[in-house]
A and B are shown apart, each in its own frame.
Chain A
Amino acid sequence: MNTAYLTAGDTFSLDCPTITRTTLALYAGASGDHNPVHIDIDACHAVGIEDVFAHGMLSMAYLGRLLTATFPQDRLCSFEVRFTAITPVNTTPTCTGTVAKVEDGLAHLDLSVALPDGTVTLSGTAVVTTH
Protein backbone atom coordinates (compact mmCIF):
# COMPACT_ATOMS: atom_id res chain seq x y z
CA MET A 1 0.00 0.00 0.00
CA ASN A 2 1.24 3.48 -0.84
CA THR A 3 0.86 4.79 2.65
CA ALA A 4 1.55 8.42 1.69
CA TYR A 5 -1.99 8.52 0.25
CA LEU A 6 -3.87 6.90 3.13
CA THR A 7 -7.22 8.50 3.82
CA ALA A 8 -9.88 8.05 6.46
CA GLY A 9 -12.12 5.13 5.63
CA ASP A 10 -9.46 3.01 3.88
CA THR A 11 -9.86 -0.57 5.05
CA PHE A 12 -7.77 -3.70 4.88
CA SER A 13 -8.37 -7.19 6.18
CA LEU A 14 -6.75 -10.55 6.81
CA ASP A 15 -8.48 -13.93 6.79
CA CYS A 16 -6.92 -15.91 9.63
CA PRO A 17 -6.35 -19.65 9.31
CA THR A 18 -8.75 -21.90 11.21
CA ILE A 19 -7.53 -22.09 14.81
CA THR A 20 -7.18 -25.80 15.55
CA ARG A 21 -5.91 -27.56 18.67
CA THR A 22 -2.65 -27.99 16.78
CA THR A 23 -2.49 -24.22 16.25
CA LEU A 24 -2.88 -23.71 20.00
CA ALA A 25 -0.17 -26.28 20.80
CA LEU A 26 2.22 -24.65 18.31
CA TYR A 27 1.42 -21.17 19.63
CA ALA A 28 1.89 -22.29 23.25
CA GLY A 29 5.32 -23.67 22.38
CA ALA A 30 6.50 -20.73 20.29
CA SER A 31 5.07 -18.01 22.52
CA GLY A 32 6.02 -19.54 25.86
CA ASP A 33 2.43 -19.15 27.11
CA HIS A 34 1.80 -22.60 28.56
CA ASN A 35 -1.39 -21.70 30.42
CA PRO A 36 -3.27 -25.05 30.42
CA VAL A 37 -6.62 -23.42 29.55
CA HIS A 38 -5.32 -23.18 25.97
CA ILE A 39 -3.94 -26.69 25.54
CA ASP A 40 -5.30 -29.09 28.16
CA ILE A 41 -9.01 -29.92 28.15
CA ASP A 42 -8.67 -31.91 31.39
CA ALA A 43 -7.30 -28.84 33.19
CA CYS A 44 -10.24 -26.83 31.78
CA HIS A 45 -12.79 -29.36 33.07
CA ALA A 46 -11.17 -29.24 36.52
CA VAL A 47 -12.16 -25.56 36.83
CA GLY A 48 -15.51 -25.82 35.04
CA ILE A 49 -14.42 -24.62 31.59
CA GLU A 50 -15.95 -26.73 28.80
CA ASP A 51 -13.09 -26.68 26.32
CA VAL A 52 -9.76 -25.05 25.53
CA PHE A 53 -9.88 -21.59 23.97
CA ALA A 54 -7.37 -19.61 21.96
CA HIS A 55 -4.71 -17.36 23.44
CA GLY A 56 -5.83 -13.75 23.07
CA MET A 57 -2.28 -12.93 21.98
CA LEU A 58 -2.63 -15.34 19.02
CA SER A 59 -5.40 -13.13 17.64
CA MET A 60 -3.30 -10.05 18.42
CA ALA A 61 -0.47 -11.70 16.46
CA TYR A 62 -2.85 -12.07 13.49
CA LEU A 63 -3.70 -8.37 13.80
CA GLY A 64 0.04 -7.71 13.88
CA ARG A 65 0.34 -9.68 10.63
CA LEU A 66 -2.38 -7.49 9.12
CA LEU A 67 -0.49 -4.35 10.18
CA THR A 68 2.92 -5.47 8.94
CA ALA A 69 1.46 -6.80 5.67
CA THR A 70 0.16 -3.26 5.13
CA PHE A 71 2.98 -1.14 6.59
CA PRO A 72 6.68 -1.81 7.16
CA GLN A 73 6.93 -2.87 10.81
CA ASP A 74 9.32 -0.08 11.76
CA ARG A 75 6.53 2.45 11.00
CA LEU A 76 4.44 1.07 13.84
CA CYS A 77 4.31 3.57 16.75
CA SER A 78 1.71 1.91 18.95
CA PHE A 79 -0.64 -1.06 18.87
CA GLU A 80 -3.23 -1.87 21.51
CA VAL A 81 -6.25 -4.11 21.97
CA ARG A 82 -8.91 -5.04 24.45
CA PHE A 83 -9.91 -8.69 24.54
CA THR A 84 -13.71 -8.56 24.41
CA ALA A 85 -14.71 -12.21 23.95
CA ILE A 86 -13.09 -15.62 24.14
CA THR A 87 -12.02 -17.24 20.85
CA PRO A 88 -13.17 -20.87 20.87
CA VAL A 89 -11.10 -23.60 19.24
CA ASN A 90 -11.94 -24.54 15.61
CA THR A 91 -13.03 -21.11 14.48
CA THR A 92 -11.79 -18.89 11.65
CA PRO A 93 -11.50 -15.21 12.65
CA THR A 94 -11.12 -12.24 10.35
CA CYS A 95 -8.94 -9.21 11.14
CA THR A 96 -9.99 -5.78 9.90
CA GLY A 97 -8.28 -2.41 10.01
CA THR A 98 -9.81 0.94 9.10
CA VAL A 99 -8.06 4.29 8.83
CA ALA A 100 -9.84 6.57 11.32
CA LYS A 101 -7.80 9.69 10.54
CA VAL A 102 -4.50 10.86 9.07
CA GLU A 103 -2.91 13.77 10.86
CA ASP A 104 0.64 15.18 11.16
CA GLY A 105 2.17 12.24 9.29
CA LEU A 106 0.46 9.67 11.48
CA ALA A 107 -2.35 7.33 10.47
CA HIS A 108 -4.70 6.30 13.29
CA LEU A 109 -6.28 2.92 12.70
CA ASP A 110 -9.23 1.15 14.26
CA LEU A 111 -8.72 -2.60 14.51
CA SER A 112 -10.95 -5.56 15.19
CA VAL A 113 -10.99 -9.33 15.09
CA ALA A 114 -14.34 -11.02 14.57
CA LEU A 115 -15.62 -14.58 14.45
CA PRO A 116 -17.77 -15.83 11.54
CA ASP A 117 -20.92 -15.29 13.66
CA GLY A 118 -20.00 -11.61 14.08
CA THR A 119 -18.71 -11.82 17.66
CA VAL A 120 -15.93 -9.25 18.10
CA THR A 121 -13.10 -10.87 20.06
CA LEU A 122 -10.52 -8.08 19.93
CA SER A 123 -11.05 -4.37 19.52
CA GLY A 124 -8.16 -1.96 19.29
CA THR A 125 -6.17 0.79 17.67
CA ALA A 126 -2.77 1.36 16.11
CA VAL A 127 -0.79 4.41 15.07
CA VAL A 128 1.66 4.23 12.16
CA THR A 129 3.81 6.84 10.48
CA THR A 130 2.68 7.44 6.88
CA HIS A 131 6.20 7.83 5.46
Chain B
Amino acid sequence: MPIDPTIVGTRTPEFQTTAERGRLRSFAQATGQPDPAYTDLDAARLAGYRDLLIPATFLFCLEMDNPDRHRFLADLGVDMRAILHGGQRFHYHAQAYAGDTLTFWTEVTDVYDKKGGALDVIVRDTHVSRDGTPIATLTSTIVVRDPKAAA
Protein backbone atom coordinates (compact mmCIF):
# COMPACT_ATOMS: atom_id res chain seq x y z
CA MET B 1 0.00 0.00 0.00
CA PRO B 2 1.95 3.06 -1.18
CA ILE B 3 1.81 6.10 1.06
CA ASP B 4 0.74 9.28 -0.71
CA PRO B 5 3.96 11.34 -1.12
CA THR B 6 2.00 14.60 -1.04
CA ILE B 7 1.73 14.21 2.75
CA VAL B 8 5.33 15.52 2.98
CA GLY B 9 5.13 18.96 4.55
CA THR B 10 1.82 18.35 6.27
CA ARG B 11 1.72 19.40 9.92
CA THR B 12 -0.35 18.52 12.93
CA PRO B 13 -1.88 21.37 14.91
CA GLU B 14 0.01 22.37 18.06
CA PHE B 15 -0.69 20.18 21.05
CA GLN B 16 0.12 20.87 24.70
CA THR B 17 0.73 18.39 27.48
CA THR B 18 2.41 18.05 30.86
CA ALA B 19 4.43 15.22 32.34
CA GLU B 20 2.88 14.49 35.72
CA ARG B 21 5.19 13.27 38.49
CA GLY B 22 3.10 10.14 38.98
CA ARG B 23 3.44 9.13 35.34
CA LEU B 24 7.19 9.74 35.46
CA ARG B 25 7.39 7.45 38.52
CA SER B 26 5.48 4.78 36.57
CA PHE B 27 7.89 5.21 33.66
CA ALA B 28 10.86 4.88 36.03
CA GLN B 29 9.35 1.68 37.42
CA ALA B 30 8.69 0.27 33.94
CA THR B 31 12.24 1.00 32.80
CA GLY B 32 13.96 -0.13 36.03
CA GLN B 33 15.35 3.35 36.67
CA PRO B 34 17.13 3.30 40.07
CA ASP B 35 18.24 6.98 40.09
CA PRO B 36 16.00 8.79 42.61
CA ALA B 37 16.33 12.09 40.68
CA TYR B 38 13.67 10.57 38.37
CA THR B 39 11.23 9.58 41.12
CA ASP B 40 11.86 11.52 44.34
CA LEU B 41 11.37 15.29 44.37
CA ASP B 42 13.76 15.81 47.31
CA ALA B 43 16.47 13.78 45.58
CA ALA B 44 15.95 15.72 42.35
CA ARG B 45 16.26 19.05 44.19
CA LEU B 46 19.31 17.82 46.11
CA ALA B 47 20.89 17.03 42.72
CA GLY B 48 20.22 20.62 41.62
CA TYR B 49 17.07 20.13 39.56
CA ARG B 50 13.88 22.10 40.12
CA ASP B 51 11.61 19.06 39.70
CA LEU B 52 11.72 15.43 38.51
CA LEU B 53 13.69 15.16 35.27
CA ILE B 54 11.79 14.16 32.16
CA PRO B 55 13.89 11.15 31.04
CA ALA B 56 15.85 11.26 27.78
CA THR B 57 13.28 9.30 25.74
CA PHE B 58 10.08 10.32 27.54
CA LEU B 59 9.31 13.22 25.17
CA PHE B 60 8.47 10.50 22.65
CA CYS B 61 5.83 9.19 25.06
CA LEU B 62 4.34 12.65 25.50
CA GLU B 63 4.26 13.02 21.72
CA MET B 64 2.19 9.84 21.56
CA ASP B 65 -0.52 11.59 23.60
CA ASN B 66 -1.21 13.81 20.60
CA PRO B 67 -4.65 12.71 19.37
CA ASP B 68 -3.70 13.85 15.85
CA ARG B 69 -0.87 11.30 15.79
CA HIS B 70 -3.27 8.35 15.71
CA ARG B 71 -5.68 10.18 13.41
CA PHE B 72 -2.78 10.77 11.00
CA LEU B 73 -2.03 7.04 10.73
CA ALA B 74 -5.70 6.05 10.61
CA ASP B 75 -6.32 8.56 7.78
CA LEU B 76 -3.54 6.88 5.80
CA GLY B 77 -5.29 3.53 6.30
CA VAL B 78 -2.38 2.18 8.35
CA ASP B 79 -3.05 -0.74 10.71
CA MET B 80 -1.22 -0.17 14.03
CA ARG B 81 -0.15 -3.83 13.97
CA ALA B 82 1.62 -3.27 10.66
CA ILE B 83 3.93 -0.55 12.01
CA LEU B 84 7.56 -1.00 12.91
CA HIS B 85 9.61 1.75 14.49
CA GLY B 86 12.64 2.00 12.22
CA GLY B 87 14.59 4.67 14.04
CA GLN B 88 14.36 7.49 16.54
CA ARG B 89 16.47 10.60 17.07
CA PHE B 90 16.41 13.29 19.75
CA HIS B 91 18.17 16.63 19.52
CA TYR B 92 18.08 18.29 22.93
CA HIS B 93 18.03 22.05 23.41
CA ALA B 94 17.05 22.40 27.10
CA GLN B 95 16.09 20.10 29.97
CA ALA B 96 12.37 19.65 30.70
CA TYR B 97 10.86 18.80 34.07
CA ALA B 98 7.71 17.34 35.58
CA GLY B 99 4.93 19.90 35.51
CA ASP B 100 6.27 21.85 32.52
CA THR B 101 3.63 22.67 29.93
CA LEU B 102 5.18 21.54 26.67
CA THR B 103 3.99 22.37 23.16
CA PHE B 104 4.39 19.79 20.38
CA TRP B 105 3.81 19.94 16.65
CA THR B 106 4.76 17.38 14.04
CA GLU B 107 5.64 17.66 10.37
CA VAL B 108 6.06 14.88 7.79
CA THR B 109 9.54 15.39 6.32
CA ASP B 110 9.96 12.38 4.03
CA VAL B 111 8.11 9.40 2.55
CA TYR B 112 9.73 6.62 0.52
CA ASP B 113 9.41 2.92 -0.14
CA LYS B 114 11.90 0.10 0.37
CA LYS B 115 12.23 -3.45 -0.86
CA GLY B 116 10.28 -2.82 -4.05
CA GLY B 117 7.31 -1.35 -2.24
CA ALA B 118 6.98 -4.09 0.41
CA LEU B 119 7.80 -1.46 3.03
CA ASP B 120 6.73 2.17 3.21
CA VAL B 121 8.81 4.56 5.28
CA ILE B 122 7.45 7.75 6.85
CA VAL B 123 9.79 10.26 8.52
CA ARG B 124 8.39 12.90 10.84
CA ASP B 125 9.94 15.69 12.93
CA THR B 126 8.30 16.75 16.16
CA HIS B 127 9.26 20.11 17.65
CA VAL B 128 8.91 20.52 21.42
CA SER B 129 9.00 23.87 23.21
CA ARG B 130 8.19 25.43 26.57
CA ASP B 131 6.90 29.02 26.56
CA GLY B 132 8.51 29.49 23.14
CA THR B 133 11.89 28.09 24.25
CA PRO B 134 13.01 25.06 22.20
CA ILE B 135 13.30 21.91 24.31
CA ALA B 136 13.97 19.20 21.72
CA THR B 137 13.40 18.00 18.18
CA LEU B 138 12.37 14.38 17.71
CA THR B 139 12.74 12.56 14.40
CA SER B 140 10.79 9.31 14.04
CA THR B 141 11.14 6.83 11.21
CA ILE B 142 8.11 4.59 10.91
CA VAL B 143 8.08 1.52 8.68
CA VAL B 144 4.73 0.23 7.43
CA ARG B 145 4.85 -3.38 6.27
CA ASP B 146 2.41 -5.94 4.97
CA PRO B 147 1.20 -7.60 8.20
CA LYS B 148 0.98 -11.01 6.49
CA ALA B 149 4.72 -10.77 5.79
CA ALA B 150 5.52 -10.59 9.52
CA ALA B 151 7.70 -13.35 10.92
Contact = CB atoms under 8 A, between A and B. Distances in A.
Contact of B33 (A35, A65, A82, A86): A65
Contacts of A81: 87-89
A4 interface: no
Contacts of B150: 47-49
Interface in A91-106: none
Contacts, number: 121
A90 interface: no
Interface string A39-77: 000011011111000001110111011011100011011
A67 B79 CA distance: 34
Q: How large is the interface on B (under 10, 10 to 19, 20 to 34, 35 or more residues)?
A: 35 or more
B53 A60 contact: no
B117 interface: no
Given A26-B30, A35-B80, A57 B85 contact: yes
Contact of B61 (A32, A56, A67): A32
Contacts of B1: none
B30 A77 contact: no
Q: How large is the interface on A (under 10, 10 to 19, 20 to 34, 35 or more residues)?
A: 35 or more
Contacts of A17: 32
A17 B151 CA distance: 25
Interface string A9-35: 000000011000001001101111101
A36 B81 contact: yes
A74 to B, nearest CB: 5
Nearest to B32: A17
Given A67-B56, A79-B90, A83-B88, 9 more contacts: A35-B83, A43-B81, A44-B81, A68-B53, A76-B56, A78-B91, A80-B87, A80-B89, A83-B86
17 contacts: A26-B26, A30-B23, A30-B29, A30-B30, A30-B31, A47-B150, A48-B147, A49-B151, A56-B88, A61-B27, A65-B32, A65-B35, A65-B55, A68-B35, A73-B55, A78-B91, A83-B87
